[in-house]
A and B are shown apart, each in its own frame.
Chain A
Amino acid sequence: MLLLTTPDYLPKLGGLSSHTQNIEKVLRELKIEYELFVWKNYKDVITFPNEKIQKYSHILNIHSGFHMYMPESSAKVINFVNGAEILFYSPNFFKNVIKKITRKIKVRRVEKAYFNVFISNFTYQTLISKGLRPDYSRDLIFHMAIDISKKEFCPKNWDTGALKFICVARDVPHKNFRGAIKLCEEIQRVTGREVEFITVTDKKFHSSKINIRSYVNPSNELRDNLLKEAHINLLLSLDDSKNGFFEGFGQVVQEAGMFGTPSIVLSTGGLPESVHDNETGWVLNDLSEKSIVALVERLNESSYKKISQNCFNHTIASHGLDNWTKLFRELILS
């Protein structure tokens, strides 16, 4: 019996919630019996009944925080290590101090895992910088997988009509919606082409220079249709590690990719591992005029077509849930 733990689940939406549902699909496909535990805070983890935890052969944590706090167990623990939890940061001063003080103990806990699955090398190196002693027989780098059952290659014409860019994210500073608007405005200015920016988040945006269509918390179906419609997905996340945020991998890149919509990302966090520059999308070092002009020079009908097709093929082959099925077959069933 396997215990699957997560801090986020339906009806709450978000990356970890959909990640958990995807793992459930994988476990069902592998016919692995499991119980789901959704924890809201670390008190829930610390008070998890000791006699109950002993009955599991495996514990699979969507968020490595569970392993850091859970009671001791003889079960084989497999942690997903996604991102910001490994920065050991809190905006609350006292909680921040406690996190820093207890960091070593928590890292030592993670070292006792059967396997740690890091969604990017950046995440792995970050935890090493926080004191994790690397062990390549325990620590695996395995990129994010998503449910691609709705995959559909949607070719878009680059040369005609408005250029459509989309950004799907929570409106938090590190997601950098302002940067995305700036990029769209600059592309319009440099190319002379009309640019439309589609935002999918929890608020509306405005610009005096470009047309912005804002969708506040749309349905999944509408969101997918918008990803299909856009030429390019933007994920210009900033590295805000000092304040507890960085992009571990950028799941939305694959969510766009399964419709043949390539992404432009900044070279921060795990994003350069999610988008392969000039092959499946574009990676920018910054949003300077020089970088944007160089980007525009690379964008034309022929290069866009090629990258869009590559992006779709790569997403379907390497980021579908079948990849996790393979992994967990070996980690859990073997």
Chain B
Amino acid sequence: MNKKVAVIFNTDQLGGAEKSLIEQLKIQIRKQEFTIYIPNLNSNKSPLADELRRCGLNDIKSFQYPLFLYSVSREKRANLFKLLFFAPALIYYLLHWNEIFKNYSTFYANGNKASVPILIWANIFRAKCKLLWHFRDYPERGYFKLIQKYLSIANKFHKNFEVKIIANSYSVAEEIKKVFPWLPVQVVYNLAGDMPRKPSGGEVKTIGVVAMHAAWKGLHSVVLMSKLYEKELRNIGIERIIFFGSNIYQTDQGSNDYSRDLLNLTKKLNCSLVEWGGHVSPDKIYQKIDLLIHPSLKPEPFGRIVLEAFLSGVPVISTSLGGSSELLKESECGLKYILHDYRGLFDSIEGLTLYKENRLRLEKSAYQHAREIENQALEAIDRIFL
């Protein structure tokens, strides 16, 4: 008999984290029965819901999620007073969650904001259940200290509530173990899904950068490099640098300003190589580009687009921080460059563009490594629900 699992998302948008979870669900769909919960869902406007249905995951429901939890979770320091202030409203949500969640014994929460309702509800209502808490990012300080304290006390009194943590890289797992040393942690790499492979051996004319518009993704550093080395890039045959992505989550005013800043910077410096490609599906992106730059300025928990590029046969140049360094494998599978080293980034582009044998060698080992990652992930996914 299939297990009934409630899958909890923390957004109705379709970003890398959501795509990765959908890939896992597709693999498990014969063994488990999934009911998908999306917060504050507006069915007509949810790319996530559309994609779930396209993949045959049709049991989709909405649940109410307090907006103040989104804003509070972004703060670096835990503000207990703020939480207490919103406590009366939380009571309403708890009653609502109890109505929904009491029918399930297993929860699979995609991200920290998704896990919080389960953590609070299960402990207050003494629910007998298991929470598979999928971390998509490093544990932040502030609220995690609060959650850590809460869990360490709650676990002493509520033995029927099991928590298992799923980390999407060994880098993330290592940080989680520092915060929750008593909880089991399993590493499950993200899956990229089916990526059509580009024929290899072509010239490098189009560079791609694929990321949501957030300052830590470092897009502005590539815009600047494109201007500083515009002449040199054109001399080696580069015709364009296309930036794919947008401000998908629309939750942060800072990110909206960043999109505007990127356009302003491009205009101010008159960057003739830069094009803004907007939101395009991954299977189409990698067919349009010959080289991917991954310019994240801070440790990336996993770096899904690096995996997508590897599977598509597109070579990668990355800052290789955090989980993405597990993909790049110390320059066997891609090239690493130093943050804000514009000359270093150009040199890597030049090296891959002009030296075809080097590029082909990297593409081949990157593809093999990506396949190994996928195999590891498939085996690990089977063990998630054990």
A contact set with B: CB distance below 8 Å: 121, 134-138, 140-143, 273, 276, 279, 314, 317-318, 323, 326-327, 330, 334
B377 at interface, CB cutoff 8 A? no
B228 CB contacts on chain A under 8 angstroms? 326-327, 330
**What's the Cα separation between A330 and B230 when bound, in Å?**
11
B269 at interface, CB cutoff 8 A? yes
| A317:B347 contact, CB within 8 angstroms | yes
The smallest beta-carbon distance between A26 and chain B, in angstroms, is 14
Q: What are 27 inter-chain pairs, A to B, with CB distance below 8 A?
A: A121-B297, A134-B215, A134-B254, A134-B257, A135-B257, A136-B215, A136-B265, A137-B220, A137-B260, A137-B261, A137-B262, A138-B261, A140-B224, A141-B221, A143-B340, A273-B339, A273-B340, A279-B338, A314-B344, A317-B344, A317-B347, A318-B341, A318-B344, A323-B342, A326-B229, A330-B228, A334-B270
A276 CB contacts on chain B under 8 angstroms? 338
Instruction: Return the contact of B262 from the options A121, A136, A141 (Cβ within 8 A).
Output: A136
The contact string, 1 if C-beta is below 8 Å from chain A, for chain B 201-242, is 000000000000001000011001001110000000000000
A326 CB contacts on chain B under 8 angstroms? 228-229
The contact string, 1 if C-beta is below 8 Å from chain A, for chain B 339-361, is 11111100100000000000000
| A136:B227 contact, CB within 8 angstroms | no
The smallest beta-carbon distance between A128 and chain B, in angstroms, is 10
Instruction: Return the contact of A136 from the options B220, B270, B341 (Cβ within 8 A).
Output: B220
**What's the Cα separation between A279 and B330 when bound, in Å?**
12
B46 at interface, CB cutoff 8 A? no
B180 at interface, CB cutoff 8 A? no
Nearest residue, chain B, Cβ from A115: B268
**What's the Cα separation between A317 and B342 when bound, in Å?**
10
Once A137-B264, A137-B265 are accepted as A-B contacts, the answer to whether A330 and B347 lie under 8 Å apart by CB is no
Which 3 residue pairs spanning A and B have beta carbons closest together?
A137-B264, A137-B265, A136-B261
Nearest residue, chain B, Cβ from A114: B268
B258 at interface, CB cutoff 8 A? yes
The smallest beta-carbon distance between A115 and chain B, in angstroms, is 9
A273 CB contacts on chain B under 8 angstroms? 339-340
| B342:A330 contact, CB within 8 angstroms | no
Nearest residue, chain B, Cβ from A326: B228
**What's the Cα separation between A142 and B298 when bound, in Å?**
17
Task: Label chain B's interface by main secondary structure.
Answer: helix
B257 CB contacts on chain A under 8 angstroms? 134-135
Nearest residue, chain A, Cβ from B262: A136
Q: Please report the number of residue pairs spanning A and B whose Cβ atoms sit closer than 8 angstroms.
A: 55
| A121:B340 contact, CB within 8 angstroms | yes
**How many residues does chain B have at the interface if contact means C-beta atoms less than 8 Å apart?**
28
A318 CB contacts on chain B under 8 angstroms? 338, 341-344
A334 CB contacts on chain B under 8 angstroms? 269-270
Question: Which of A134, A137, A317, A330 has the most chain B CB atoms inside 10 A of its CB?
Answer: A137
Once A136-B258, A327-B228, A330-B227 are accepted as A-B contacts, the answer to whether A317 and B270 lie under 8 Å apart by CB is no
B contact set with A: CB distance below 8 Å: 215, 220-221, 224, 227-229, 254, 257-258, 260-265, 268-270, 297, 338-344, 347
A327 CB contacts on chain B under 8 angstroms? 228
The smallest beta-carbon distance between A142 and chain B, in angstroms, is 7
**What's the Cα separation between A150 and B245 when bound, in Å?**
45
B260 CB contacts on chain A under 8 angstroms? 137
The smallest beta-carbon distance between B190 and chain A, in angstroms, is 27
**What's the Cα separation between A135 and B263 when bound, in Å?**
11
The smallest beta-carbon distance between A273 and chain B, in angstroms, is 7
**What's the Cα separation between A327 and B260 when bound, in Å?**
22
Instruction: Return the contact of B343 from the options A137, A141, A279, A317 (Cβ within 8 A).
Output: A317
| A330:B269 contact, CB within 8 angstroms | yes
| A135:B340 contact, CB within 8 angstroms | no
B262 CB contacts on chain A under 8 angstroms? 136-137
Instruction: Return the contact of B340 from the options A137, A142, A279 (Cβ within 8 A).
Output: A142
A317 CB contacts on chain B under 8 angstroms? 343-344, 347
**What's the Cα separation between A152 and B82 when bound, in Å?**
59
Nearest residue, chain B, Cβ from A331: B269
B220 CB contacts on chain A under 8 angstroms? 136-137
Question: Which of B228, B254, B270 has the most chain A CB atoms inside 10 A of its CB?
Answer: B228
Nearest residue, chain A, Cβ from B266: A137
| B268:A137 contact, CB within 8 angstroms | yes
| A135:B261 contact, CB within 8 angstroms | yes
B347 CB contacts on chain A under 8 angstroms? 317
**What's the Cα separation between A138 and B268 when bound, in Å?**
9
**What's the Cα separation between A154 and B338 when bound, in Å?**
24
**What's the Cα separation between A318 and B77 when bound, in Å?**
37
| A141:B227 contact, CB within 8 angstroms | no
B270 CB contacts on chain A under 8 angstroms? 334
A121 CB contacts on chain B under 8 angstroms? 297, 339-340
**What's the Cα separation between A334 and B272 when bound, in Å?**
13
The smallest beta-carbon distance between A309 and chain B, in angstroms, is 15
| A323:B268 contact, CB within 8 angstroms | no
| New contact pairs (8) apart from A137-B262, A318-B341, A326-B229, CB-CB < 8 Å | A121-B297, A136-B220, A137-B263, A273-B339, A273-B340, A276-B338, A318-B338, A318-B343
Nearest residue, chain A, Cβ from B220: A136
B264 CB contacts on chain A under 8 angstroms? 135, 137
**What's the Cα separation between A256 and B359 when bound, in Å?**
34
Nearest residue, chain A, Cβ from B343: A318
B263 CB contacts on chain A under 8 angstroms? 137
**What's the Cα separation between A147 and B266 when bound, in Å?**
30
B261 CB contacts on chain A under 8 angstroms? 135-138
**What's the Cα separation between A323 and B224 when bound, in Å?**
12
The smallest beta-carbon distance between B209 and chain A, in angstroms, is 14
Nearest residue, chain B, Cβ from A279: B338
Question: Which of B260, B263, B269 has the most chain A CB atoms inside 10 A of its CB?
Answer: B269
B229 CB contacts on chain A under 8 angstroms? 326
| B341:A143 contact, CB within 8 angstroms | yes
A137 CB contacts on chain B under 8 angstroms? 220, 260-265, 268
